[in-house]
Structure 1
Amino acid sequence: MQTGITQAPFGHLPGGAAVTQFTLTNANGMVAKIIDFGGVITELHAPDRDGRLADVVLGFDTIEPYCTGSPYFGALIGRYGNRIARGRFTLDGVQVQLPVNNGNNHLHGGAGGFDRVLWTATVDGASLRLAYRSVDGEMGYPGNLDVTVVYQLNDANELVVRFHAVTDKATPVNLTQHSYFNLAGDGDILGHYLTIDADSFVAIDSESIPTGELTPVTGTPFDFRLPRQIGERIGQPDKQLRHGSGYDHNLVLNKPEGTALARAARVSEPVSGRVLELWTQEPGVQFYSGNFLDGSLSGKGRSYGHRSGLCLEPQHFPDSPNQPQFPNVILRPGEVYATESRFRFTTEAA
């Protein structure tokens, strides 16, 4: 078995630039495929309890859908993951206006966010390093932001994602990874069991903008402190579920900000026995249950129907530039943005 990183062409962008796919393979035969456009994880093959590999992320076979119709499948997100109300905030007394691309609001860095740019890729041993300079004013954000993302697939069956960024002007930064997971490899995710180490979540309004309230999960459909099937309570007549059309909320992790890696979430799929654990340094995780997938997208021989994938996006909180009580997201010159998350795959017995 060949381990390490290989590369192959993955088509061309509309302007003619070539896209490359990098294949990371570990000693156990697990495989991650990542392209330099958007830093997208296009495939992730993990073993079931009998050692059989299956692709457990949603994605496409070719570059074209990633340029036109992708709901952030597998992508790197920046400068700001999640929503900023009205695309507007005040920073050091100056009002900043970002483009709105999600109703009245700014989502995931805008229509030209980090998911839609070609990163500069280099291979360093078993690590894939992606670099990008987001110039001053890009998508309305102040400052030149130099970003590096390192992907590594280690022999503990962990896909490691490390972010690093520096700026020459104060700017909000909230980077994340936006893979959609389905541990069965097909079907919907309603039978997956989910655990999230969170006592509260960020309440949202009808436009998915935080109200500012951190709501205790006790007695709500958002209590995943013990394993619960995702589909068990997703249809309950709950106002927050209505606002998100299901789960699309940031949960506040039970960990101090800026500490070492801690386990934030665990997902298990009982038929295959696959287990995914998210370990992160981030203070929150956005749990999204694939509510807006409707079968109109397909790739890799699969149709992506309603709730056929789930996202666990390690992050700071939505709309933090307008919510001073939330953890700080402003990066200033001389500071370093550095955060790590790990997606760890194991199995459990039947």
Structure 2
Amino acid sequence: MGDAAPWAAPPVTLDPAAFRGEIDGQPVGLWTLTGEGGVTVSLCNYGARIVQILAPDRSGRLGDVVLGYDSLAAIQGGQPSMGAFIGRFANRIANGRFTLDGRTHTLPQNAGPHHLHGGVKGSRFRVFDTERLSASAVRMRLTYADDEEGYPGELRSSLLYRLDGDSLRLEYEATTDRPTVATFTGHAFFNLAGGGSILGHRVTANAHFFLPIGPGGIPTGEIRSVEGTPFDFTHPEAFGTRIDGDNHQLHLADGYDHTLVIAKEASAFGLVARVEDPGSGRVLEVMSTEPAAQLYSGNALTGITPRDLGKGGVAFMRRGGFCIEPQGFPDAPNQPHFPSTTRHPGVPYTGVIAYRFTTSA
């Protein structure tokens, strides 16, 4: 129990100079948060992305528990969602269009025929204005222009990254001057072992229903019980136990890439999922105010250079990271029975995502 996994090398020390630069006339840099809970977080304001999280294992050894890159150039050549804060609409919108108040809005089709993660100039590709508030907190701001990527309304957003004890909190707010649609999420790729496969990580999800998908990852509209399916994580189960089983939904996504419906009151802050790495003893609890969460098992991490070349020159392996992305329902603007993601002037869209790091015995 006291021996580190063979792949859990000491964390890479990030060089702030490697993240300095300018994109679209905006300065880019690295911000590191420290607090009292033994966790350290490094952030880049290009995409408001989490680059590194150092968390102790059961023996007190620090390990890097998120995948990421060690320079701005590597970020630009890498997986665009890696660690990013996603807006203005997380996940997919079918066929790149939706109708709001009788008007059809056309969006970029950047995932086959569909729209993904805000489009070709979503927040993943934008520089956030950043203000350090304290050693443990920074605030990042981004304004989405009216008709940008085809969305109606100017949407002004604010994101607070804050270390609170052993938790990293993402507190966000957005206001619009016209009716629009929006839902945000955090897209960190976690590996609680600090390397290797995540298939041995044990997952417990606060979800009794999930959204089946069709081709392209678009929800079919059905809200299906997890009972008797590989999506039943109501009791602890390893990612790898059923991931390669004979199941049509898993075949469509080459693993897990599905939305879980979180069992809590709408807008209430509550538990989304708990993940434990038995080897290191590290435990991640994800909490949120959002009604759903995308569960992703890193199926598209394939070691391709330079896209999948991470910190310290270590390639990302297939299923070497997992994502739990609290968010609104994907394709909600086209599926009226899903909880609404429509935002109105004078009514701020607010939310919280928290990642709590502890250890098991």
TM-score range, shorter chain: over 0.9
Q: Secondary structure at the match of 2:222?
A: strand
Moved more, 157-166 or 298-307: 298-307
1:287 aligns with 2:287: no
CA apart distance, 1:67: 2.0
Select which of 72, 76, 80 maps to 2:85.
Answer: 76
Distance 1:265 1:57 in 2: 17
Whether contact under 8 Å (2:80, 2:125) holds in the other structure is: no
CA apart distance, 1:254: 0.7
Distance 2:309 2:77 in 1: 13
1:242 aligns with 2:254: no
Distance 1:243 1:65 in 2: 30
Distance 1:280 1:28 in 2: 20
1:257 aligns with 2:254: no
| Superposition TM-score, scaled by structure 2 size | 0.92
Distance 1:196 1:283 in 2: 13
Distance 1:28 1:96 in 2: 45
Specify every segment of 5 or more residues in structure 1 that has no aligned partner in the other structure, as ranges: 1-6
1:18 aligns with 2:30: no
Bigger share in strand: 1
The one-letter code of the counterpart of 2:97 is R
CA apart distance, 1:140: 1.1
Distance 2:193 2:28 in 1: 29
CA apart distance, 1:16: 6.0
Q: What does residue 11 of structure 2 align with?
A: none
1:278 aligns with 2:286: yes
Moved more, 20-29 or 162-171: 20-29
1:326-349 deviation line (CA, Å, top 9, x unaligned): 011000111110011110000001
CA apart distance, 1:17: 4.1
Distance 2:26 2:271 in 1: 39
Q: Secondary structure at the match of 2:46?
A: coil
Identity of aligned residues (%): 44
CA apart distance, 1:255: 0.8
Select which of 82, 107, 112 maps to 1:103.
Answer: 112
Specify every segment of 5 or more residues in structure 2 that has no aligned partner in the other structure, as ranges: 1-14
Moved more, 27-36 or 338-347: 27-36
The one-letter code of the counterpart of 1:147 is S
Whether contact under 8 Å (2:282, 2:357) holds in the other structure is: yes
Q: Secondary structure at the match of 2:251?
A: helix
CA apart distance, 1:22: 0.5
The one-letter code of the counterpart of 1:294 is T
Distance 2:133 2:79 in 1: 29
Q: How does 1:11-50 map to 2 (within 5 A)?
A: 11-13=20-22, 15=24, 17-50=26-59
Whether contact under 8 Å (2:53, 2:64) holds in the other structure is: yes
1:338 aligns with 2:347: no
Q: What does residue 157 of structure 2 align with?
A: 147
Whether contact under 8 Å (2:29, 2:45) holds in the other structure is: yes
Whether contact under 8 Å (2:142, 2:158) holds in the other structure is: yes
Select which of 132, 141, 145 maps to 2:142.
Answer: 132
Distance 1:327 1:169 in 2: 20
CA apart distance, 1:69: 2.7
1:266 aligns with 2:277: no
Q: How does 1:85-104 map to 2 (within 5 A)?
A: 85-104=94-113
CA apart distance, 1:305: 1.0
Distance 2:27 2:35 in 1: 26
Distance 2:22 2:195 in 1: 29
Distance 2:193 2:158 in 1: 32
Q: Secondary structure at the match of 1:265?
A: strand
Whether contact under 8 Å (2:158, 2:174) holds in the other structure is: yes
Whether contact under 8 Å (2:174, 2:348) holds in the other structure is: yes
Distance 1:142 1:13 in 2: 28
1:229-283 deviation line (CA, Å, top 9, x unaligned): 0000000110110111110000001112112x11110000001000000011111
The one-letter code of the counterpart of 2:169 is V
Distance 1:254 1:139 in 2: 33
Moved more, 188-197 or 20-29: 20-29
Distance 1:343 1:29 in 2: 14
Whether contact under 8 Å (1:33, 1:41) holds in the other structure is: yes
